Amino acid sequence: MFPLRDDIPSSRYPVVNVGLILLNLAGFLYELQLGRALDGLIQSYGFVPARFAAQLEAGALASGLAPVFTSMFLHGGFLHILSNMWILWIFGDNVEDSMGHYRYLLFYLLCGVTSGLAQFAFSPDSTLPLVGASGAISGVLGAYIVLYPRARILTLVPVIILFYLVEVPAYVFLGLWFLLQILRGYAEGMGGAGDLRGGVAWWVHVGGFFSGLVLIWLFAENRFLRRRR
């Protein structure tokens, strides 16, 4: 299933959400012109769980956490960046609307950090760098399902060679998405892919979503929490 739009209008322009999208796109354009130097950038600024574990043991927490932030603005390919930014565009404006610009930025970054630490908890020995905004965006999805569980999500559903447009309640769409992340995370773990050989850090998504479920109660304005749909 692929979301196309929701039916919740924003009452204020999502300045931060648009800024985050532009910043991610700018980062990806920078990656494209690096050529062979890109691998060095990913290794240096991606979040590597094994390296973070070593820095924790050495007492260098600050330098260990820095790649958690920088990794949020790096992506592994066109599909990666485009899918992430599309999801952020659809759901992020409403979450920003619920808490205001500055609190939304802090919320987004906190979800990104906790999502990276969640992946670290499940694969602390992995030497593969994590990159992408999907952890922070998963936090946005967790917040959205709390705020607008009955919002209608226009969804593109493929059935064999045909495609159908279906309006799905947000709690169904996002609930199924979250369940799928957990199942895939456990499946790869049981298959011995704790070092992320599957290419997707599923526990980043799970950790980010759970962070959004919790943090929204601290960041959203009371009027939005009272009138949850």
Class of domain 2-226: mainly alpha
Examine the pLDDT at 13 and tell me if it is beyond 90. Answer: yes
CB within 8 A of 102, min separation 6: which ones?
A: 16
pLDDT reported for residue 152: 94
pLDDT reported for residue 60: 76
pLDDT reported for residue 199: 60
pLDDT reported for residue 229: 53
pTM over cut 0.85: yes
Residues 195-208 have a mean pLDDT of: 73
Range from 111-125, 174-188, 193-207 carrying the lowest mean pLDDT: 193-207
pLDDT reported for residue 33: 92
Q: Determine how β-strand 2-6 pairs with β-strand 152-159.
A: antiparallel
Domain boundaries, the chain: 2-226
Q: Determine how β-strand 162-169 pairs with β-strand 152-159.
A: antiparallel
* Terminal alpha carbon distance of the chain: 23
pLDDT reported for residue 123: 84
For residue 191, what pLDDT band results from cuts at 50, 70 and 90? very low
